[in-house]
Amino acid sequence: MAESTQPKVLIVGAGSMGLISGYHLQLAGAETTFLIRPHRAEPLKKPVTFYSYNDHTLKEYTDYKYIIDPAEIKNVKYDYILITLDAAALRNEVGQALAKSIGDTIRGTNTKVVLGSIFIGLLPWFLEVSGLPAEQVTNGFLYIHVYGTAAVTLPVHAPTNPELLKKADQAYVDHLGPGFGLDDSSPSVAQGFSELWNKSGVSTADIKTAVALATTANLVFAIFAAFYLTGWPRFADMGLPQYSEIWSLGVKAVKEILTLSIHGDMGKAVASMTTEEALLGQMIGYEQAMLPLDLSAFSKYHHGGKVNVQDRAHLKACVKIGEQEGAKVEALKELIKRVEEKI
């Protein structure tokens, strides 16, 4: 019997990022399998229902598989492994063992890895722990905004259908142009995965330079720290006088992050053009683009609670780099200090 030519993707983690990625990859024609912890198996025994803020309909994700033992990875020749664990989970003892196990299993094969976890220096860390060559792994970034409906109830804005939303396990919006981003740390991995994602017919993937993707990803943590300190107002209200001091501090921290060496000349150029007014305008545009998903409430859930510890660790890693380079990161340190005092 001839072996199936259907692309096979293993998704590590079945949280919101993993599920929405799996849904789109299945639309693209891939066979999707989740590697999960045993306690995550029960929710996957039934189809996953998504509410789309794009067209206000329900989408059903079925026919996926799941495994709970990393040793089972060797039983299938996967084309891609997409890691969707948050960086804290990937870097803990269990995550490190998993990274090593993945490396031991696929080293010397054609399986490629997309690292969807975000943290300063995570790719070289993963390469070291897994023992995989650099050409086998690249960074990924989910632009789609997605959340579990049981975890948080967001304000409803027209034309959202609240009755359909109540029936969904997950809700998402894909309004930022690309739904998934990759960097060119490994051009071949990025190109192949983007081509697969694009076959979904409903979402696209783009490829940026490693510096460009890092520049985009790393500055958002300072922005959301400022919004945390101001109580998560609407982005359109952040220009009000009562928020001006915190916003000014946040923008100064953003510029300090941008000028770190990891962001190269691009970061310095972006920092030189960054003003309080310009950055606020970008955030207001971002908020408008996400409607009818309430971005302020989503951000409060995602950055104020769900990954707040990881966000702060990310900012502290930026401070460490800055201090090693002899850079002044006073605004960034003050921002972190105020966040930790508020917790």
pLDDT, tens only, 250-270: 999 999 999 999 999 999 999
> Is the pLDDT score of 2 beyond 70?
no
Q: Which of 152, 184, 208 is the last residue of a domain?
A: 208
Same domain, 31 and 132: yes
Mean pLDDT of 142-159: 97
Token representation of residue 233 = 């107002």
**185 & 243 share domain:** no
Distance CA 144, CA 204 (A): 10
Buried b (16+ CB within 10 A) or exposed e, 150-178: eeeebeeeeebbeeebeebbbbbbbbeeb
Pick the range with the lowest mean pLDDT from 54-68, 109-123, 306-320: 306-320
pTM for the whole structure: 0.95
**Residues 6+ positions from 42 with CB-CB distance below 8 Å:** none
Q: What is the mean pLDDT of residues 272-287?
A: 97
Model confidence over 206-264: pLDDT tens digits? 999 999 999 989 999 999 999 999 999 999 999 999 999 999 999 999 999 999 999 99
Alpha-carbon distance of 164 to 138, in angstroms, equals 37
Q: Are 84 and 12 contacting, i.e. CB atoms less than 8 angstroms apart? A: yes
User: pLDDT exceeding 90 applies to what percent of the chain?
Assistant: 94
pLDDT at 20: 99
Distance CA 210, CA 226 (A): 26
140 pairs with which residues across the strands? 182
Answer yes or no: is 181 within a domain.
Answer: yes
Q: How far is CA 315 from CA 22, 119, 301, 340, in A?
A: 30, 10, 19, 12
Calpha distance 138→127 (Å, rounded): 10
Three-state secondary structure readout of the chain: CCCCCCCEEEEECCCHHHHHHHHHHHHCCCEEEEECCHHHCHHHHCCEEEEECCCCCEEEECCCEEECCHHHHHHCCCCEEEECCCHHHHHCHHHHHHHHHHHHHHCCCCCEEEECCCCCCHHHHHHHHHCCCHHHEEEEEECCEEEECCCCCCCCCCCCCHHHHHCCCEEEECCCCCCEEEECCCHHHHHHHHHHHHCCCCCCEEEECHHHHHHHHHHHHHHHHHHHHCCCCCHHHCCCHHHHHHHHHHHHHHHHHHCCHHHHHHHHHHHHHCCHHHHHHHHHHHHHHHCCCCHHHHHHHHHHHHCHHHHHHHHHHHHHHHHHCCCCCHHHHHHHHHHHHHC
Q: Which residue in 245, 228, 242, 220 sits closest to 343, CA to CA?
A: 228
Evaluate whether residue 1 is within a structural domain: no
pLDDT band with cut points at 50, 70 and 90 for residue 1: very low
Would you say residue 88 has pLDDT above 70? yes
Whether residues 226 and 83 share a domain: the answer is: no
Tell me which of 208, 231, 256 is where a domain ends: 208
- Number of other CB atoms surrounding residue 189 within 10 Å: 24
pLDDT over 70 (residue 142): yes
Residue 184 has pLDDT above 60, yes or no: yes
Domain assignment present for 272 = yes
Closest alpha carbon to 21 in 133, 182, 165:
182
Q: Same domain for 73 and 196? A: yes
Pair 127, 22 in one domain: yes
Asked whether residue 273 is domain-assigned, the answer is: yes
Please tell me whether residues 114 and 25 are part of one structural domain.
Answer: yes
Same domain, 155 and 171: yes
**Residue 306 pLDDT:** 52
How confident is the model over 136-164, as a mean pLDDT? 98
pLDDT-based confidence at 3, cuts 50/70/90?
A: low
Per-residue pLDDT band at 343 (split at 50, 70, 90): confident
140: domain CATH number is: 3.40.50.720
pLDDT beyond 90 at 5: no
**How many structural domains are present in the chain?**
2
Residues in the chain: 343
Q: Is the dihedral of CA 100, 105, 109, 111 positive or negative?
A: negative
Residue 49 belongs to some domain of the structure: yes
C-beta neighbour count of 339 within 10 angstroms: 18
Q: Is residue 24 located within the same domain as residue 97?
A: yes
Last residue of a domain, one of 187, 208, 229: 208
Q: What percent of the chain has pLDDT over 70?
A: 98
In a domain, 33, yes or no: yes
Q: Examine residue 44 and state whether it is found in any structural domain, yes or no.
A: yes
> Based on the domain organization, do 249 and 284 belong to the same domain?
yes
Q: Please indicate, yes or no, whether residues 124 and 170 belong to a single structural domain of this protein.
A: yes
Judgement on whether residues 77 and 157 belong to the same structural domain of the protein: yes
What are the Cα distances from residue 255, in Å, to 84, 181, 269?
28, 23, 10
Q: Within its chain, how far is the Cα of 194 from the centroid? A: 16
Q: Yes or no: say if 246 and 339 are a contact pair by the CB < 8 Å rule.
A: no
Backbone conformation region of residue 324, classed left if phi is above 0, alpha if psi is from -120 to 50, else beta:
alpha
**Beta pairing, strands 170-173 & 48-52:** parallel
In a domain, 2, yes or no: no
Regarding whether 24 and 173 lie in a shared domain, the answer is: yes
The range of the structural domain enclosing residue 275 comes to: 212-342
- Provide the mean pLDDT of the chain: 95
